[in-house]
């Protein structure tokens, strides 16, 4: 007996597999007809010293370019460093307007040949950055120093920043006020034992031993911070008390030598005069008497 056979129903598993394959083909076609894939930036890092602030990231671009945007928490995005092939962007002009504000930046990636790119480009956000709390303190410099007797006076040069107020660039002291302090490390030139002194101004006046030479270095700090509290130490500077004593000794020795020379000359002249006088008297005694 013959078995009647009707049209076969497609297997559900085969239908699903075909749909997945079709989807992959469509994705490939769409990708081929679209723009070139770009590399997304990573490792975004803020580099800031005395409010000079630069955003850095990776990688070096090959077939793409970057644009950087920055915004405060409640502000709008502002574009900087348009279509750059660099991996850093100077954002100092943006953050110095309000160093107490918290900022966020992002790096957008574009194809190198996309002059009229449309749509939302891929991007990476940076960590938040608050300049007043996070900018590093630069290495301080000693402006002047003077040691007189038992007093040593040291003045710290107040570094200028790019923070402006009424068109004037503010110093580090003007920005941080009493939050900024300095520590002086000082020691005798003939010793290694260090002493410390602190001030929330730019000047030190400390007691030292008279006639001793001293060396010292200075470090800036903001004790109220949780991180980046201290700056690198300044170059070491030394007083020259030993050289001063040597000059004084040379002066004394010079005076003594001069006195000795004068006395020697006076003595020599006196001896010469005495000898000449004696010779004159001896000549008179030996001459014959005149007979009348």
Q: pLDDT tens digits, residue range 138-159?
A: 999 999 999 998 999 999 998 9
Give the span between the Cα atoms of 13 and 179, in whole angstroms.
72
Confidence of residue 260 (pLDDT cuts 50, 70, 90): confident
* pTM flag (> 0.85): no
The CA distance from 91 to 107, in Å, is 12
Sign of CA dihedral 171, 177, 180, 181: positive
Counting Cβ atoms within 10 Å, is residue 119 exposed (0-12), middle (13-18) or buried (19+)? exposed
Two structure tokens written together for 204: 């030190």
Whole-angstrom Cα distance, residue 212 to residue 118? 74
191 — pLDDT class (breaks 50, 70, 90): confident
Quick: pLDDT tens for 211-236: 899 999 999 999 999 999 999 999 99
Per the CB < 8 A criterion, the answer to whether 141 and 216 are in contact is: no
CA-based torsion, 164, 168, 171, 176: positive or negative:
negative
- Rounded to whole angstroms, the Cα distance separating 221 from 183 reads 8
């Amino acid at each position: 007996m013959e078995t009647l056979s009707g049209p076969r129903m497609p297997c559900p598993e085969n239908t699903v597999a075909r749909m997945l394959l079709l989807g992959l083909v469509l994705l490939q076609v769409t990708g081929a007809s679209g723009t070139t894939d770009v590399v997304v930036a990573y490792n975004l890092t803020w580099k800031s010293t005395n409010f000079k602030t630069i955003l850095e990231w990776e990688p070096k671009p090959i077939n793409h370019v970057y644009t950087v945007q920055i915004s405060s928490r409640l502000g709008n995005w502002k574009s900087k460093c348009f279509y750059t092939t660099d991996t850093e962007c100077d954002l100092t002009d943006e953050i110095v307007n309000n160093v107490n504000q918290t900022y966020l930046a992002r790096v957008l990636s574009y194809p190198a040949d996309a002059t009229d790119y449309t749509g939302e480009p891929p991007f990476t956000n940076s960590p938040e950055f608050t300049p007043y709390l996070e900018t590093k303190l630069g290495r301080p410099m000693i402006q002047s120093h003077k040691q007189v007797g038992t007093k040593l006076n040291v003045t710290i040069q107040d570094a200028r920043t790019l923070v402006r107020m009424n068109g004037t660039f503010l110093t580090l002291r003007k920005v941080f006020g009493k939050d900024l302090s300095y520590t002086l490390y000082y020691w005798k030139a003939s010793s290694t034992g260090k002493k410390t002194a602190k001030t929330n101004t730019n000047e030190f006046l400390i007691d030292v031993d008279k006639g001793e030479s001293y060396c010292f270095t200075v470090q800036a700090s903001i004790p109220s911070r949780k991180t980046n509290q201290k700056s690198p130490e300044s170059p070491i500077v030394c007083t020259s008390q030993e050289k001063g004593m040597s000059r004084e000794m040379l002066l004394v020795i010079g005076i003594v030598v001069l006195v000795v020379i004068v006395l020697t000359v006076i003595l020599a002249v006196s001896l010469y005069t005495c000898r000449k006088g004696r010779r004159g008297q001896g000549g008179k005694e030996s001459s014959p008497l005149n007979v009348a």
